[in-house]
Amino acid sequence: MATKKSDYFGLSYIVSVILAIIPITALICGVVTRISEGKIVAGILRLVLGWNLIWLIDLILMLVSKHILRLLNI
């Protein structure tokens, strides 16, 4: 059986939502998650642009579709 990849270090959905609600933890977790996936450019962009628009989009997507936004696959 294939396991579904969860967001924010494999934590549960509830814990990921709590981390996504708090802007500073969402920024840190978003950057670290993307860099740990090997997506260095996405991590740097998240660090530079992630404190405003990307944070809100991540939060909305986490609540609605239960995953964070992944725009770049590089």
pLDDT tens per residue across all 74 residues of the chain? 444 556 677 788 888 888 888 888 888 888 888 888 888 888 888 888 766 777 787 788 888 887 776 666 65
Residue 49's domain comprises: 13-64
Q: Using CA atoms in the order 61, 55, 50, 22, what is the torsion angle rounded to 10 degrees?
A: -130
What's residue 5's pLDDT?
Answer: 55
Given the structure tokens 């740990």, which residue do they identify? Answer: 36
In a domain, 60, yes or no: yes
In a domain, 41, yes or no: yes
What's residue 4's pLDDT?
Answer: 53
Q: Which of 1, 5, 7 is nearest to 63 (CA)?
A: 7
In a domain, 8, yes or no: no
What's residue 71's pLDDT?
Answer: 65
Strands (DSSP E) found in the chain = none
Residue 17 DSSP SS3 = helix
In a domain, 45, yes or no: yes
What's residue 50's pLDDT?
Answer: 67
Whether the CA torsion 9, 10, 15, 20 is positive or negative: it is positive
Number of domains in the chain: 1
In a domain, 31, yes or no: yes
In a domain, 36, yes or no: yes
What's residue 1's pLDDT?
Answer: 41
In a domain, 21, yes or no: yes
In a domain, 25, yes or no: yes
